[in-house]
Structure 1
Amino acid sequence: MLINKNTTIIGQKTILVPYKVEHVQKYHNWMQSEELQKLTASEPLTLDEEYQMQKSWMMDENKCTFIILDKDKFENTRNEIESMIGDTNLFFANAEDRLCAEAEIMVAEPWARGKKCGSEAMFLMFLYGVETLGVKQFVVKIGDDNDISIHMFRNCGFVEVSRSSVFNEITFSKIVDGEWIMWLKQNVGGYEVVSDLK
């Protein structure tokens, strides 16, 4: 999405940066994992296809993507590639109507799991969706055996709306309201949205 191509979101544990060409090789390496393919319901792509995907996602007004960096590692190394731990996305059925977005989160690096990085990154993405894109409802689709994600989304107020035995997934939804926005901000702590127009 062009609107976030120069945007960085800085949280307490994570930094969200736009998905750029220099991130593709590491992202491609992640997606060779059968575990991650299953968790994200993704098919493996060739490296060339991954580069094309990155380019299309940057231009596509129906998709908003950020790469998640581990903040401590980035502050120590100043290297985005070494600090990459996953990604988070919003998908819109219609670019003209951004009221409802499907959200996704992936923490690909095993060493970064269990540190609340994924939940913080997701909360930062929710806040960006609400405050910048005007989202009024979020939907998530989770594999019915992905207990960690199910627990995380239930914990932040999502309710189950349907189950698919064909795709073995559960759909959850959350309507945005002022109380929930306040809850997100309290759980995130301080955060900063920086737009670099260079």
Structure 2
Amino acid sequence: MKLNSHTKIVGANIILVPYKKHHVPVYHEWMKSEELQKLTASEPLNLEQEYEMQKTWHDDEDKCTFIILDKDIFNNTAFDETGAMIGDTNIFITDKELAIGEIEIMIAEPSARGKKRGWEAVKLMLLYGIKYIKIQTFEAKILLQNVISIKMFKKLGFQEKSVSAVFQEVTLDKKVSNEWTEWLASSLSFEIKDYH
């Protein structure tokens, strides 16, 4: 999405940066993992296809993605983005008229899991979606076996909307309200900066 192509969000423990060409090789390595392919319902791509996919993410006005950087690693490696990459978070606009967006979060680096990095990233992404993409309802589609993600989204106030036995996934949703938006923002410290 061109909207976020020059936006960086600096949080307490993470930094969200737009998905650019120089991130693709690391992302491509992540997506060779059968576990991540299964959890994200993704097909493996070759490197050339991954570069093409990155370009569509940049150009498509219905898709917004940020790469998640570990802030400590980034600051301790002379600001090396690729060395600090730990995952990504996305919003797909699934209904423009009703302003419905599907949110996703992936912490790809095993060493970064269980440290609340995903929790911080998804809350920042929800706030970005509310303020800049004007999302009114969020949905999250999660594999039934991904209990950690289901618990996280329920903790964020999402409720079960439907279960697909065929796809073995649950759809959770959450309508945006002023109270919820304030609650999300109250627990975060962050600043939005220009990204070059």
TM tier, smaller? over 0.9
Give the structure 2 partner of residue 192 of structure 1: 191
8 Å CA contact 1:4, 1:64 repeated in 2? yes
- After alignment, is 85-94 or 12-21 more displaced? 85-94
Identity %: 54
In the superposition, the TM-score normalised over structure 2's length comes to 0.97
- Aligned counterparts of 1:50 and 1:12: Cα–Cα separation in 2: 30
- Aligned counterparts of 1:98 and 1:126: Cα–Cα separation in 2: 17
- Aligned counterparts of 1:195 and 1:3: Cα–Cα separation in 2: 12
Give the structure 2 partner of residue 75 of structure 1: 75
1:98 Cα shift?
Answer: 7.0
- Aligned counterparts of 1:153 and 1:182: Cα–Cα separation in 2: 17
1:177-188 equivalence runs, <5 A: 177-188=177-188
- Aligned counterparts of 2:114 and 2:176: Cα–Cα separation in 1: 26
- Aligned counterparts of 1:123 and 1:31: Cα–Cα separation in 2: 24
Q: Residues 108-164 of structure 1: CA distance to partner in whole angstroms, max 9, x if unpaired? A: 000000000001000000000011111111000000010100000000100000000
- Aligned counterparts of 1:181 and 1:195: Cα–Cα separation in 2: 23
In the superposition, the TM-score normalised over structure 1's length comes to 0.96
- Aligned counterparts of 1:60 and 1:195: Cα–Cα separation in 2: 20
Moved over 2 A (4+): none
Give the structure 1 partner of residue 126 of structure 2: 126
1:93 Cα shift?
Answer: 2.4
8 Å CA contact 1:92, 1:98 repeated in 2? no
- Aligned counterparts of 2:97 and 2:125: Cα–Cα separation in 1: 18
Give the structure 2 partner of residue 112 of structure 1: 112
Give the structure 2 partner of residue 163 of structure 1: 163
Which ranges of structure 1 fall in alignment gaps of 5 or more residues? Answer: none
- Cα-Cα RMSD: 1.1
1:97 Cα shift?
Answer: 3.9
Which ranges of structure 2 fall in alignment gaps of 5 or more residues? Answer: none
Give the structure 2 partner of residue 141 of structure 1: 141
- For these two proteins, the number of residue pairs brought into alignment is 195
1:195 Cα shift?
Answer: 2.4
